[in-house]
């Protein structure tokens, strides 16, 4: 039904406004129509159910405006908002391909310009930092190594700061893009990441404080995994024994993503195994 078919746009009242707004859109695909129609319907239903006031509506609009103001190419406050509301994790879990490694949140500090480094690279800011060896393999649900697999990894330093936040270390430390070998294997030297509090100096921080919520995240590595003919996966790897595993501010922890470092040749080692879902049936 179009707006003209449902009567003139000015013939509007609380009982028909939702219908008229939905009818005013003409999206290019059925999926876009489905998504936008559901969004409008749920937003309007929320306003009706809660009897939303003009002041509350204005406060919410201002909150979103401030999320945009504080966002930058190194920080995404909207992504952080999605994370702390559990939306990111819900999408990760409901859109998970069968047989693949579980996904987890991208987080607000992903930087697409990480350096491309060879297998075996040292990502530490200083050779004097305690070394942790991270090694693993990227496999396919078809069996064997995922052909042409690559990893994109970023993490905090031991102080809980990402390199893009910490002026004391090079901006491209503790993160990399790496093409795996023909056997799907990767390896790099880094440091054990530290737990940290998600940014609290913006509107999302205000929301956490107002709700009596923790801002702490357990120590973790972020991974974005890709391979030709496979669905990419964004996930995280967490360290066993971290005190914040059970209270992650962004609901990103999954049991299958918790690892226990071992000691090999006198230094700690983390062994990982990722599986990507093939796009080929």
Q: Residue 227: which CATH number? A: 2.60.130.10
Backbone angles phi, psi at 81, to 5 degrees: -60, -45
Distance of CA 232 to the CA centre of its chain: 13
**Alpha-carbon distances, residue 175 vs 56, 117, 128, 159 (angstroms):** 41, 10, 18, 15
Asked if residue 68 is part of any domain, the answer here is: no
Domain span including residue 23: 17-52
Q: Do 87 and 163 fall within a single domain?
A: yes
* Mean pLDDT, 10 residues at a time, the chain of 281 residues: 60 94 96 98 98 98 98 92 97 94 93 95 89 97 96 96 90 96 97 95 98 97 97 97 97 97 94 93 55
One domain, residues 40 and 93: no
pLDDT of 126: 85
Query: Is 57 inside a domain boundary?
Result: no
Whether 45 and 98 map to the same domain: the answer is: no
**Residue 241 falls within a domain, yes or no?**
yes
pLDDT at 3: 46
| Residue 122 and residue 42 share a domain | no
Does residue 12 fall inside a structural domain? no
Q: What is the pLDDT of residue 5?
A: 55
| C-alpha–C-alpha distance, residues 222 and 175, integer Å | 9
**pLDDT attached to residue 41:** 98
Are residues 29 and 167 both part of a single domain?
Answer: no
| pLDDT for res 6 | 58
Other beta carbons less than 10 A from residue 66's beta carbon:
15
First to last CA, the chain: 38
Q: What pairs with residue 233 in β-bridges?
A: 225
pLDDT of residue 281: 55
Of 174, 192, 177, the residue nearest 119 (C-alpha): 177
- Inside any domain, residue 60: no
Question: Angle 63-75-272 (CA atoms, 0-180°, nearest 5)?
Answer: 125
119 in a structural domain = yes
Question: Looking at the structure, do residues 23 and 139 belong to the same domain, yes or no?
Answer: no
Contact yes or no for 259/237 (Cβ under 8 A): yes
Q: What is the pLDDT of residue 121?
A: 97
Which among 150, 83, 138 has a CA at the least distance from the CA of 276?
138
d(CA 60, CA 66): 10
Q: How many domains does the chain have?
A: 2
> Same structural domain for residues 38 and 128?
no
Same domain, 251 and 121: yes
């Amino acid at each position: 039904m179009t707006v003209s078919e449902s009567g003139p746009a000015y013939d509007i009242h609380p009982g028909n406004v939702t219908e008229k707004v939905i009818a005013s859109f003409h999206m290019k695909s059925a999926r876009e129509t489905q998504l936008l129609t559901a969004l409008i319907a749920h937003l309007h239903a929320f306003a009706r159910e809660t009897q939303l006031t003009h002041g509350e509506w204005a406060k919410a609009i201002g909150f979103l405006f401030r999320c945009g103001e504080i966002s930058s190419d190194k920080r995404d406050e909207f992504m952080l908002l999605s994370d702390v509301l559990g939306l990111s994790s819900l999408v990760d879990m409901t859109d998970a391909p069968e047989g693949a490694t579980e996904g987890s949140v991208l987080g607000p500090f992903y930087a697409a310009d990480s350096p491309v480094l060879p297998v075996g690279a040292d990502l530490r800011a200083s050779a004097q930092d305690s070394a942790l060896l991270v090694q693993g393999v990227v496999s396919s649900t078809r069996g064997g190594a995922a052909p042409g697999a690559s990893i994109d990894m970023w993490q905090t330093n031991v102080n809980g700061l990402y390199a893009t936040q910490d002026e004391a270390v090079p901006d491209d430390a503790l993160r990399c893009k790496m093409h795996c070998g023909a056997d799907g294997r990767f390896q790099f030297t880094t440091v054990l990441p530290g737990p940290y509090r998600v940014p609290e100096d913006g509107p999302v921080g205000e929301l956490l404080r107002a709700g009596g919520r923790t801002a702490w995240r357990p120590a973790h590595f972020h991974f974005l995994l890709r391979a030709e003919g496979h669905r990419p996966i964004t996930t995280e790897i967490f360290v066993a024994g971290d005190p914040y595993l059970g209270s992650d501010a962004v609901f990103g922890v999954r049991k299958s993503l918790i690892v226990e470092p071992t000691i090999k040749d006198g230094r700690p080692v983390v062994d990982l195994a990722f599986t990507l879902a093939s796009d080929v049936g």
